[in-house]
Structure 1
Amino acid sequence: MKLKTTTGTQAQSTQVKEHSSLDGKWSLRNSDGSVAGSGSVPGCVHSALQQLGYIQDPYFRFNDVAYRWIAFDNWTYTTTFNTSEQLRSKQKVVLVLDGVDTVASVQLNGFTLGGTDNMFRSYAFSVRPLLKEAENVLSISLASPVLYASQRRKAHSAYPVPPECPPDVQNGQCHVNFIRKEQSSFSWDWGPSFPTLGLWRGVHLEAFDVLQLIQVSSVPLFGTSSITTSHVHIRLLDGLVSVSIPELFSDQTYQSGAVGGSTPVHSQGPFGLGGFFILCSFFVHGGFYTLWSLYLVQVYFRTVELVQEPVPGSPGLSFFFRINSKPVFLKGSNWIPAHAFQDQVTPDILLNLLHSAADANMNALRVWGGGVYEQDQFYDLCDHMGIMVWQDFMFACAMYPTEADFIQTVRSEVIQQVQRLKSHPSIIIWSGNNENEAALATNWFDIPESHRATYVKDYVTLYVENIRALVQQEDPSRPFLVSSPTNGAESEREGWVASNPYDPHFGDTHFYSYEDDCWDWSTFPRTRFASEFGFQSWPSFSTLKTVSVDDDWSYDSNFSSHRQHHEHGNQQMLRQAALHFHLPNSTDALKRFTHTLYMTQVMQAQCVKAQTEFYRRSQTEIIDGKGRTMGALYWQLNDIWPAPSWSSIEFGGKWKMLHYFAQDFFAAVLPVGFEDDGTLLIYAVSDLSPDLTLRAVVRVQLSTKPATTSESLAVVVLKQEVAALLAGCGRCTRLSCLLTFHLEDGTGVQRGPSNYHFLCSPKDAEGLRKANITAKVQEDESGFSVTLRSDAVAPFVWLDVGNIAGRFSSNGFLMVSADRTVGFTPWRPTSVSQLSTSLSVTSLRDVY
């Protein structure tokens, strides 16, 4: 099946069901009643306790540890509601819980309806006989997720299911793999341990008269006047919709409103738009049917194929996506939960993060398997923005049990989530888990060889015999991968667990190396598809200030150590930075701290730039049997709290230097320069027409002063000895010069961003002096702008306006000309005066 439907607008709806929301304020108390008050539904206990004043901001300083008691207690949500006679008169009334986090007992008017054990499922209970006109009491009692997970682990006595606990540096909780909830909520190497409890999605009653439901969806119109599908015949008659079910000898006509025919529309990104669909469902009772709902929805067209086929000159298989019959290089990142408390992920947060991805020229995001299946709006926005989604199922970095009840709840989870999400054309692939094939194959958990077969059997049972089988049944239109990274078809051939899931000749790879020089492209794997790679950095000082005090503002403070959840992460950042830069050495402690934050962002941006450009230029090459890279998704897009991480966007939405760099290294047309044995090579990388004619314009730039005229060499994109370039300049050496370059088309118009290549490490550059940069903030009809003037070449010029939320048009750039103007878009009202007062400008030479 190649056709997908997205969200649409309702044209006409004839309802025979009653819907009564129970969202709003509920009473909340802990197990002994010592903590009580009200809490919002949807919501969670942590958010409620903060609003009630029992706790401070959970993200402040060390509160993730101080508030552990919340997840060790049991909590009960209670509400009282009335019901109308019309609702109670229906044949069926169902209580629907759209999302319970996680293990709960549900009672209505003193009667136990049942239990829940899966955050990712909805639950429905038949309640009509229990309902009264007034004073119905609904109670949902939530068990401690930490204690529940521990109890499940103890009950699984036959053999351990690793890992037992997270590393000590994460300050987390144990046995998260035994509970079907957000895996990262027990801690991760970029996030805190907040094992949440609550009703994280809505609660409502549905009432209807029905014996059987026939649902017809995705019925294409395409300008035709008649469609027959699923034993239902639909005819369009001058503004009316006639619906016939021949088997029931029934024919009825409804007002169709705007329903009818095909309407030309346009879309962004890779999804072609065209026409409308009818979406309708019917209730059948007593041989008659009633139309429940009739909707008009806008549709997108796209086909998706995951191509794994022999590659000439290589012993492996290709791995790339063909969208609408066109091979597409996936450019993007990995998505983690946007907040530890899902009720605080607002539409504005989602919109800002996804706009940020699109504005950085990303066309794809991978929804990582240790978080949550995102809310509907996330996928709606991806549909609209043309952002392709690699969708993991929520299993990550662990083995999992395979008892019958665990398998059964997973099966319900998979069916519900696939049915909910499969109408979104943005989703191009399902993936069973994050890194669990690699964990087995490379024995992360020190499983004895004699026991390995047991874990492989569990792996196949869960991901292949259940999840994969259900996905292929529910949605055969998309490819399914059992894991990421994986060798794909080769892993399947080897019994689903390959001997080396990181083999660059197959599938996708995850690659992290913090000790190797990240400027050295030869250390990167020439893989078919890079689905994870990255380097850490710290967020900006303005972001950290919101969760810390002045005693914390040191790189070696207890706070800095506590926030770092990756073993030796703070030291790794400095070691990597020191390979090419002088480390900050100010005698002022606060200045040294803020400069160190800046330096980690410079290091991260340069490292990910080098690796991404390597992958982009490798898409057409096969070298030693490796290459044809067709995707670069760096780890990670967003942050879950203010802390060091691999993200390019800080918690709160502020762009790190890496994200500004991504605007360029993901550009549709990009010049990539690198050295190989003393030879400079410049590649023209293009996502556009293959017959685009480009040439490279290379400038040999003295690092001692800004250029007013250029000493340049215009060359066709090819390779050139660095020594020859320097000789042509006459007064340049590797230590005194750098290279800048861009691409021009046949008319001399620059295509894509400019780029640069350092001929030596900046710490070794001769004459790189501290630049005197002045800045002037202005406002006109087009918005705010900052005009900079520098008396020297200035690498990594960073503009910061503190806690004024917004985004610059460019940042972290190499300033080689005397003047540069950048725009600033505020997210809230501000002024020239406020921006001028808050603005700081930092460049590389300022920090030592």
Structure 2
Amino acid sequence: MSTYHPLHDGWTLTGGEQEGVPATVPGCVHTDLLAAGIIDDPYLDDNELRQTWIGRTDWVYRTTFGRPSGGSDRVDLVCAGLDTVATVTVNGVGALRSANMHRGYRVDVTGLLHDGDNTLEVRFDAPYGYAEAQRDALGARPGPYTEPFQFIRKMACNFGWDWGPTLVTAGIWQDIGLHAWSGARLAEVRPLTTVDGTAGRVEIPVRVEHTGNAAVTVTAEIAGVAAELRLAPGTTEGILVLDVPDVELWWPTGHGAQPLYQLTVRAGADTWTRRIGFRTVELDTDAFRLSVNGRPVFVKGFNWIPDDCFPARVTADRLRERFGQAVDTGANLLRVWGGGRYESEDFYDLADELGVLVWQDFPFACAAYPEEEPFRSEVEAEAREQVTRLAPHPSLVLWCGNNENLWGHQEWGWPEALEGRSWGAGFYYEVLPRVVAELDPTRPYWPGTPYSGAPDRDVMDDSTGTVHIWDVWNTEDYTHYDSYSPRFVAEFGFQGPPVWATLRAAVSDEPLTADSPGVRHHQKAVDGNEKLLRGLGRHLPPPADVDDWHYFTSLNQARAVAYGLERFRSLMPYCMGAIVWQLNDCWPVTSWAAVDGAGRRKPLWYAIRRAYAPRLLTVADGVVTAVNDTDEPWTGDLTVTRRAVTGDLLAKESVPVSVAPRDAGRVVLPAGLAGGDLLVAELDGARAIRMSAEDPDMAYPPADFDAAVEPVAGGYLVHVTARTLVRELAIHPDRLDPAATVDDQLVTLLPGDTVTFTVTTDRPLDPAALTGHPVLRCVNEVRS
């Protein structure tokens, strides 16, 4: 027999001056205190600042439960995730001690249970107290902030980041329950798939645990193919092999379908089942080129951070929305960043279903980490558990040792600060690659990013390996992306504010300004607001008010990232990947995200969708590049026109082009197309427009267009026909209805062009407001 009994009910929380607070499990202290009305929403205004005491307080969760019936031989307490330093007692007797948010725990509590009510208590030590004690014992290590996040195996960004608040959590953050069983159970199942032609193979190392000493029969089945393994008395491990003929290959989105096969493994009454896929993955470690099923894949990606500071609030539906937002841009990869967590099964299941490749960082980010005990054993145990857990997922294509720690040690002055103390090299070059090689040899391992392939190379050598580009945003204009010819860009980005409705819901400042206290608090980057304004440079006029500030900085973010993406894609196949920092936010904040903390798509999202299109035209330095990321040739007549700012045609050339599949073709512009105010390149429905000067220097005519609003089921259609050039036309319907969305943004129209925007809302909207300032904006608008 084998039955599982969740222990999610009847919990109370005690700590500090709070006693007997009703608690939700899974959850955390912050959400319980918020639900009880004891704290205000930490995401609003500057409430965060008054909640630091929570991370410096010890907390106790308590509940009672009945002993499982049925006469099982053994009852295990199973804790999928405890955050973080916890002592668990059953009926007053210690059952386990944990100090790692990234691990699960299972302990035999059969002898601790009795009939009637049993008491379960989970005591959490204050995270700050534990981390600071470890720091004092082992010696300080350099990092980006004064917070001690590298001294506790916990989600680092809990301690604040340049896009996140400091909300140091504690709690039973994942499932907890009792597993009652007899005979045998599957303690570990680790399927490893390989493909040879059309033949698939699944090798399944298994480990069983049993309550007696009898032989155990383990069976496995997939796609009508079965295998059986008999483990003799006293034997707990073995390997099953399933050879599956004529498998359908799993492909990344944009390259093919994602067939998944149900794999079922049984031992006695215990059953383990997962969907797996058949595919190969290879990494060219010099050029840093990922190939799936033998085909090089240009990575169009996003970096992924935890979608909420309180992970238990991230539901499967919320993840499905985020994945949809990523896939709808044309992206094919999410990089799970090393300052967060190993993501949930829901996350990886969605990636499998949708064909989204996953790059998985181990949780180390931006700091020197101690390698002494207790961390060395914790890191290896965590890695072994998570590598085993994630092995079934075909979407997972890369294990990466850390984020920016190799860069930090090489270029940020760490050796002097460390004075010989450990900093994590043993993890990245020894422990983690050994664990991956042993448990998941079907996937590549990369020691960290940025990294150029060997410890003695310059980590930021863009001719090999991966680079992170942060001089743009920090110090350089976004046109500086042109100075890079990278093999693979694992991080780059540019800031912009959240959508207006998100900003107004989170910040109650009156009057709201670009520099008001709440806006400042929701900007965590050093000099972030100053960099936003400096980044406008000569590209856009100085903002006259907060409405201008919001539109111009949002537009500039979109332009900057699109500029970089077009540069990197134009270098294909020399460059084979760009991962935008970042897809999502964990709270409402000015940041690099394309989707803000309320789940709303920023103008950046629409720009990335254009830049990630399967077929892209881009113009730079007198060359038109046609990027063809499809399986069919792209052929046709490339038409290039030179126009005056009025839209009048000054010159025109047409050139036949044929671009091979998964390649880029380049056309040098004829001399006759030099001059003029703007250049327009068009091929088979794709268009690229380049201005001859920055917008403030263009002497645009006042925007003149006809706008008509048509009510339809589910919202409105807004038809716009341009009589002049209309630069970066955008509609922001969330200013009228926070739930309203629009299907496109930042559209440049030539005279005579027509565009129709679809506004989705369930509220009646004023057509005049929908087509008036500040809801409808363009760079060359004239206000009435």
Shared topology, TM-score over 0.5? yes
8 Å Cα contact 1:704/1:769 also seen in 2? no
1:292/1:150 Cα in 2 relative to 1: closer, same or farther (>3 Å)? same
**Equivalent in the alignment of 1:113:** 95
In the alignment, the residues of structure 2 paired with residue 322 and residue 238 of structure 1 have an alpha-carbon distance, to the nearest angstrom, of 26
For 1:83, which of 51, 67, 81 is the aligned residue? 67
- Tell me, what secondary structure is at the counterpart of 1:576? helix
- Residue pair 1:263, 1:276 contacting (<8 A) in 2 also: no
The 1:246/1:452 distance shift into structure 2, 3 A limit, reads closer
Residue aligning to 1:307: 284
Offset at residue 217 of structure 1 (A): 6.1
Q: Tell me what 1:358 maps to.
A: 327
Tell me which residue corresponds to 1:459: 424
- The amino acid of 1:695's aligned partner reads D
Task: Find the aligned partners of 2:352 and 2:620 in 1 and give their Cα distance.
Answer: 36
Q: 1:714 aligns with which of 616, 641, 654?
A: 654
Return the offset for 1:693. 2.3
The residue type equivalent to 1:306 in the other structure is L
Shift of 1:427: 0.9
Cα deviation for residue 741 of structure 1 reads 1.8
Corresponding residue for 2:727? 795
Cα-Cα RMSD? 3.3
Partner Cα distance (1:343, 1:211) in 2: 31
| Unaligned segments of structure 1, at least 5 residues | 1-15, 167-172, 251-259, 283-289, 309-316, 586-591, 621-627, 727-732, 745-749
1:743 to 683, 706, 729: 683
Comparing 21-30 and 41-50, the one that deviates more: 21-30
Shift of 1:785: 2.6
* 2:568 aligned with 1:615: yes
Whether 1:765 aligns to 2:698 is: yes
Alignment correspondent of 1:704: 646
Deviation for aligned residue 1:359 = 0.5
Q: How far does residue 807 in structure 1 lie from its aligned partner after superposition?
A: 4.0
- More displaced 10-residue stretch of structure 1: 190-199 or 147-156: 147-156
- Helix, strand or coil for the counterpart of 1:437? helix
How far apart, in 1, do the equivalents of 2:705 and 2:72 lie? 77
The one-character-per-residue Cα deviations of 1:748-782 (angstroms, maximum 9, x if unpaired) are xx3xx3221111111101233244552414315x9
The structure-2 alpha-carbon separation of the partners of 1:566 and 1:722, relative to structure 1 and needing over 3 Å to count, comes to farther
Distance (Å, rounded) in 2 between the aligned partners of 1:403 and 1:228: 35
1:29 paired with 2:14, answer yes
Residue in structure 2 matched with residue 725 of structure 1 by the alignment: 673
Percent of aligned pairs sharing the same letter: 29
Q: What TM-score, normalized by structure 1, do the two folds share? A: 0.82
Equivalences for 1:10-409 in 2 at 5 Å?
Answer: 16-32=1-17, 34-86=18-70, 89-156=71-138, 159-163=139-143, 166=145, 174-210=147-183, 213=186, 218=191, 243=228, 245=230, 269=253, 270=255, 273=258, 276-282=261-267, 290-293=268-271, 295=273, 298-308=275-285, 317-409=286-378
Q: Distance in 1 between matches of 2:221 and 2:386?
A: 33
Q: Where does residue 746 of structure 2 map in the other structure? A: 812
Deviation at 1:141, TM superposition (A): 1.0
| Alignment match, 2:416 | 448
User: What is the alpha-carbon distance in structure 1 between the residues aligned to residue 413 and residue 637 of structure 2?
Assistant: 48
Partner Cα separation in structure 2 for residue 345 and residue 25 of structure 1: 22
Q: Secondary structure at the match of 1:608?
A: helix
Equivalent residue of 1:205, what SS?
strand
Q: Distance in 2 between matches of 1:779 and 1:216?
A: 53
Distance 1:396 1:384, change over 3 A: same
Structure 1: distance between partners of 2:98 and 2:301 = 36
Secondary structure of the corresponding residue to residue 389 of structure 1: strand
Structure 1 residues 20 and 710, CA gap change in structure 2 (3 angstroms): farther
Distance 1:389 1:836, change over 3 A: farther
1:844 lines up with 2:779 in the alignment: yes
Q: Distance in 2 between matches of 1:98 and 1:346?
A: 16
* Structure 2 counterpart of 1:177, one-letter code: Q
The structure-2 alpha-carbon separation of the partners of 1:521 and 1:249, relative to structure 1 and needing over 3 Å to count, comes to closer
Normalising by the residue count of structure 2, what TM-score does the alignment of the two structures yield?
0.88
Q: Secondary structure at the match of 1:580?
A: coil
Secondary structure of the equivalent of 1:433?
Answer: coil
- The question of whether the paired residues in 2 share the 8 Å contact of 1:365 and 1:390 is answered with yes
For residue 415 of structure 1, give the secondary structure of its aligned residue in structure 2: helix
- Provide Cα deviations, 1:107-133, integer angstroms capped at 9, x if missing partner: 111111121111111111211111122
Within 1, Cα distance between the matches of 2:46 and 2:782? Answer: 29
Code of the residue aligned with 1:428 in structure 2: it is V
CA 1:420–1:653 in structure 2 vs 1: closer, same or farther (change >3 Å)? same
Shift, 1:47, TM fit = 0.7
Q: Distance in 2 between matches of 1:360 and 1:302?
A: 24
Aligned counterpart, 1:658:
604
How far, CA to CA, are the matches of 1:841 and 1:640 in structure 2?
Answer: 28
What is the CA–CA distance in structure 2 between the aligned matches of 1:193 and 1:644, rounded to whole Å? 15
Q: 1:767 to 1:228 in 2, by over 3 A?
A: closer
Q: CA deviation at 1:264?
A: 7.0
Which of 569, 575, 595 aligns to 2:548? It is 595
Other-structure match for 2:512: 553
Relative to structure 1, the CA distance from residue 547 to residue 692 in structure 2 (aligned partners, 3 Å threshold; closer, same or farther) is: closer
Cα deviation for residue 474 of structure 1 reads 1.0
Instruction: Give the number of aligned pairs.
Output: 747
Cα pair 1:552 1:558 within 8 Å, conserved: no
Task: Please state how far the C-alpha of 1:463 moved relative to its aligned partner.
Answer: 2.0
Separation in 2, partners of 1:346, 1:652: 14
Q: How far apart in 2 are the matches of 1:228 and 1:630? A: 31
Paired with 1:395 and 1:219, the residues of 2 have a C-alpha distance of 26
2:661 counterpart residue number: none
AA paired with 1:704? T
> 831-840 or 424-433, which moves further after superposition?
831-840
Quote the offset at 1:822 in angstroms: 3.3
Residue 398 of structure 2: aligned partner:
429
Question: 1:584 Cα deviation (Å)?
Answer: 1.9
Cα distance in 1 for partners of 2:703, 2:346 equals 47
What is the rounded CA distance, in whole Å, between the counterparts of 1:640 and 1:233 in structure 2?
43
d(CA) in 1 for partners of 2:288, 2:750: 40
Q: Structure 1 residues 465, 664: closer, same or farther in 2, change over 3 A?
A: same
Shift of 1:540: 2.3
Query: Residues 218 and 279 of structure 1 are in contact (CA less than 8 Å); yes or no, is this contact kept in structure 2?
Result: no
1:695 corresponds, among 637, 643, 656, to: 637
Q: Deviations over 1:602-642 (max 9, x none)?
A: 1111111111111111124xxxxxxx111011111111111
1:713 Cα shift?
2.8
Paired position in structure 1 for 2:462: 504
**Equivalent-residue separation in structure 1 for 2:204 and 2:100 (angstroms):** 35
Are the equivalent residues in 2 in contact too, given 1:38–1:48 (CA < 8 A)? yes
Q: CA distance change for structure 1 residues 144 and 517 in 2, over 3 Å: closer, same or farther?
A: same
Q: Is the Cα contact below 8 Å between 1:366 and 1:390 reproduced in 2?
A: yes
Asked whether the equivalents of residues 406 and 459 of structure 2 are also in contact (C-alpha less than 8 Å), the reply is yes
- Of residues 374, 388, 397, the one that matches 1:419 is 388
- The aligned amino acid for 1:742 is E
Distance 1:239 1:720 in 2: 56
- CA separation in 1, counterparts of 2:693 and 2:192? 62
Partner of 1:681: 623
Partner Cα distance (1:547, 1:273) in 2: 39
Q: Given that residues 494 and 561 in structure 2 are in contact (C-alpha distance below 8 angstroms), is that contact kept between their aligned partners in structure 1?
A: yes
